[in-house]
A and B are shown apart, each in its own frame.
Chain A
Amino acid sequence: MANEKRNVSMPRVLVVDDEVAIQRFLRSVLIAEGFSLNVTDNGAEALSAAVLFKPDVILLDLGLPDMDGVEVINRLREWSTVPIIVLSVREQENDKVKALDAGADDYLTKPFGMAELMARVRVALRRSVQKPEPVFRSGDLEVDLASRKVILQGAEVQLTPTEYDLLRFLVTHAGKVITHNQILIQLWGVAYVDQPQVLRVNISNLRQKIEADASRPRYIITEPGVGYRLTAPG
């Protein structure tokens, strides 16, 4: 944890949530973790704070009093690539997908614990400051993007070209949720948006090859109703 702090040296977090209790919780946790904080409770202020405060990461609640959270994301994405983590409640799968498709980087389901929060924030920060490395390592899995090699426990795994492309897409977004649509459009094209089975089959095949137990996946995690997430290293 101490290492993390030094690495990112007082990163700035913009919290956008109209619930005072959540604001207080986030404030105490994030300040204790060494973040510099700006808190606002509406979309309009969030948009101007994004310009003035120059946050390194934004925590955005979707249910804002003045405008739709997805609208805030759209406006931000017109000029900024700052990582956005959406805070949402469980029954909003559709909203989560909309927010992610609009360009949010990740989401946290309320209620969430501190460990989850910090993990997401760290992934977001790392992605914003670091360039993707040519070799991805997570647990026993190693993906060499330069030589297109996938190594599990030291042995090379044979993947079909589609499986490799899928894994590479997940690796380049490691730690972040990717929606079904994002993957389908990237790998198969817009025409396949309504045919998620092609994605399910490839995910299933990929898991058979790289997971020790495909029923308890460690690398490719399913976010039900939303998408997939490749476990970030560390």
Chain B
Amino acid sequence: MPRLSTLYRMVRPSGVYGYIVGLSLVAGATLVCEVLRHFLLPINLLMIYLLTVVLVALNTGLKPAIAAVALAGFIYNYLYTPPRFVFDFFDKEYLVTFFGLFITGAVISSLVNKASERAEILRVREAETACLYHLSRELAVAADAASILRTVVDNVEESIQAQIALFLPNGEQLEMVAASRELTIDLQELDLPVWAFHHSLVAGHGTGLHETAKLVYFPLKTLSKNIGVMAINLAEDSDFSFDQMFRLLEAFAAQTAMALERVNLSHQAEQAKISLAQQKLERALLNSVSHDLRSPLATITGVLTSILEQGDNLTEQVRRELLENAREEAARLNRFVGNLLDISRLEARGAILKKEPCDVQDLIGCALAATERQMQGRTVGVNLVKDLPMVAMDMVLMNHVLINLLDNALKYSLPDGVVDISARCNDEKLILQVADTGPGVPVDELKRIFEKFYRIPVPESIKGTGLGLSICNGIVEAHGGKIWADNRPGGGFVVTLEMPLQAASQEKETPHG
């Protein structure tokens, strides 16, 4: 991480040091002249002083250069213009010499100063750019608000050696969400972040607004609004100018605001996607509810009215058939409501599985007993491996899974079809299968049948809600298991459940939703 402070330092000597350098060089030049005065004309000795003034101007500031010019002019006049050891200020020759030296020194010095100032500015810019680049690179990979905040705090602490606090709105209030460890904020300036947030102005130390504050408060601005406040406590002994700092910190604030906005927007987009999916589901649910509640009700109403109004004209056999039909439809209605309840139970947040060790044979027995009436004499084969272990499951929900699977198998297979239930296990999993000899499912539908309200295109005579398998899926997944469907090689359809043996017993209660 680049450190701004090391890059800000000036390299030119300044202050007293500059004068010492200037005067020493002039002294050195005088020594050289003393040696050379026997061989050279005084006018040529002046060249040595000129060179000295140039050197001083190049290496120190303007004032040391002028001091050097004055000293050099005086010594030259005193020692090398005849008569020697006489200082004649009003000698015309001397004045020309002095102004020549003076202008040379001043021009070179200011040129050098300008160039070095420009270099200094470039260096600072470069340092700022490096800091910003580093920050923006780290912000780009921050995936959530928390990591953005952490990145900003780290960068400010490292690059500027300042302490920072970040405030984000929480409802009506601003809340400090991240801060340097050593940072303390005075009680009397606790209103300042709120002020900066609402006025969209930088406030605090050095800004002219709420000048008494110890910290500087930068609002985090996006195009449309402020989304937070960044508070900075600059180091007391900082040797950088406030303007430099201010500019850099404003850039930091802008980067932070942009990163936070990005995360917010992507969060919103995700929410919108979810709510769209929910709306779609709700529509499907409404369609399904109105269809699946109404059609059995229609049958029941039809049966009841025909018996009420024409009961005397109906033969005993017809009446019985009608009533059987109504009873079937009522049972179907009951199953549908049960499935809806299961769905809402599974989707309610905080719904808890009541896992208990279950005897797999017992589980299958319960499902068989519950579907006994629908069997109507069909063969259901049960094939269990001996000594299956107890498996931690929610008996009630798993019973509903098996009832739904058996119900499907009976519904989609021919009256003389065979349904097979089998269970076996390996070290990690219990494997339950329900297989039928029905027409199966087209390969590309095999996954979709576990989606909510999805029903494969089948003749209208087969009644279902498209809820059964999705509920099975939900319940099995809540147990940490897997469910999938295959077509049997010899024709028919098989649903396989894999339930974990170990994981299930470790986590007793699994929230899901």
User: Contacts A222-B365, A224-B366, A225-B396; is A204 near B338 (CB within 8 Å)?
Assistant: no
Contact B399 A224 (CB under 8 A): yes
State in angstroms the CA–CA spacing of A207 and B360 once bound together: 13
State in angstroms the CA–CA spacing of A91 and B339 once bound together: 10
Among A204, A213, A224, find the residue whose CB has the most chain B CB atoms closer than 10 A.
A224
User: Contacts A91-B341, A224-B399; is A197 near B365 (CB within 8 Å)?
Assistant: no
Q: What are the residues of chain B within 8 A of A214 when measuring CB–CB?
A: 361, 365
Q: What are the residues of chain B within 8 A of A224 when measuring CB–CB?
A: 366, 395-396, 399
CB distance from B418 to the nearest CB of A (A): 16
Contact B369 A216 (CB under 8 A): yes
Contact A217 B365 (CB under 8 A): yes
CB under 8 Å from chain B, chain A span 194-222:
196-197, 200-201, 203-204, 207, 213-217, 221-222
Contact string, B471-490, partner A, CB cutoff 8 A, digits 1/0?
00000000000000000000
Our pick among A93, A113, A204, A213 for the contact of B362 (Cβ within 8 Å) is A204
A interface SS class: loop
CB distance from A55 to the nearest CB of B (A): 29
State in angstroms the CA–CA spacing of A34 and B358 once bound together: 42
CB under 8 Å from chain A, chain B span 329-382:
330, 334, 338, 341, 345, 354, 356-359, 361-362, 364-366, 368-369, 382
State in angstroms the CA–CA spacing of A224 and B345 once bound together: 17
Contact string, A185-197, partner B, CB cutoff 8 A, digits 1/0?
0000000000011
State in angstroms the CA–CA spacing of A197 and B382 once bound together: 23
Our pick among A91, A203, A204 for the contact of B345 (Cβ within 8 Å) is A91
State in angstroms the CA–CA spacing of A201 and B356 once bound together: 13
User: Contacts A200-B358, A201-B390, A215-B361; is A93 near B368 (CB within 8 Å)?
Assistant: no
Q: What are the residues of chain A within 8 A of B362 when measuring CB–CB?
A: 200, 203-204, 207, 222
State in angstroms the CA–CA spacing of A226 and B364 once bound together: 16
In this complex, what residue of B is CB-closest to A197? Answer: B357
Contact B357 A196 (CB under 8 A): yes
Instruction: Let me know if A131 is at the binding interface, CB within 8 A.
Output: no
Instruction: Let me know if B67 is at the binding interface, CB within 8 A.
Output: no
State in angstroms the CA–CA spacing of A224 and B370 once bound together: 11
Instruction: Let me know if A90 is at the binding interface, CB within 8 A.
Output: yes
Instruction: Let me know if B431 is at the binding interface, CB within 8 A.
Output: no
- Interface size, chain A (Cβ < 8 Å): 21
CB distance from B352 to the nearest CB of A (A): 11
CB distance from A81 to the nearest CB of B (A): 30
State in angstroms the CA–CA spacing of A213 and B380 once bound together: 13
Instruction: Let me know if B145 is at the binding interface, CB within 8 A.
Output: no
Instruction: Let me know if A234 is at the binding interface, CB within 8 A.
Output: no
State in angstroms the CA–CA spacing of A221 and B365 once bound together: 9
Our pick among B334, B341, B365 for the contact of A111 (Cβ within 8 Å) is B334
Q: What are the residues of chain A within 8 A of B368 when measuring CB–CB?
A: 215-216
State in angstroms the CA–CA spacing of A207 and B361 once bound together: 10
In this complex, what residue of A is CB-closest to B364? Answer: A215
Contact string, B378-420, partner A, CB cutoff 8 A, digits 1/0?
0000101000001000011001000000000000000000000
CB distance from B328 to the nearest CB of A (A): 12
Q: What are the residues of chain B within 8 A of A207 when measuring CB–CB?
A: 361-362
Contact A222 B366 (CB under 8 A): yes
User: Contacts A221-B369, A224-B395, A224-B396; is A215 near B382 (CB within 8 Å)?
Assistant: yes
State in angstroms the CA–CA spacing of A197 and B358 once bound together: 8
State in angstroms the CA–CA spacing of A32 and B368 once bound together: 33
In this complex, what residue of B is CB-closest to A198? Answer: B357
Q: What are the residues of chain A within 8 A of B396 when measuring CB–CB?
A: 93, 224-225
In this complex, what residue of A is CB-closest to B338? Answer: A90
Q: What are the residues of chain B within 8 A of A216 when measuring CB–CB?
A: 365, 368-369, 382
CB distance from B472 to the nearest CB of A (A): 16
Q: What are the residues of chain A within 8 A of B390 when measuring CB–CB?
A: 197, 200-201
User: Contacts A91-B341, A111-B330, A225-B396; is A204 near B366 (CB within 8 Å)?
Assistant: no
Given contacts A111-B334, A224-B396, 4 further A-B contacts (CB under 8 A): A90-B338, A113-B327, A217-B365, A224-B395
Using a CB–CB distance below 8 Å, which chain A residues touch chain B? 90-91, 93, 111, 113, 196-197, 200-201, 203-204, 207, 213-217, 221-222, 224-225
Would you list the 6 A-B pairs with minimal beta carbon distance, nearest first?
A225-B396, A197-B357, A215-B382, A224-B399, A200-B359, A204-B359
Q: Would you mind naming 20 contact pairs between A and B with Cβ atoms under 8 Å apart?
A: A90-B338, A93-B396, A111-B330, A113-B327, A196-B356, A197-B357, A200-B357, A201-B390, A203-B359, A204-B361, A214-B361, A215-B364, A215-B365, A215-B382, A217-B365, A224-B366, A224-B399, A225-B354, A225-B395, A225-B399
Using a CB–CB distance below 8 Å, which chain B residues touch chain A? 327, 330, 334, 338, 341, 345, 354, 356-359, 361-362, 364-366, 368-369, 382, 384, 390, 395-396, 399
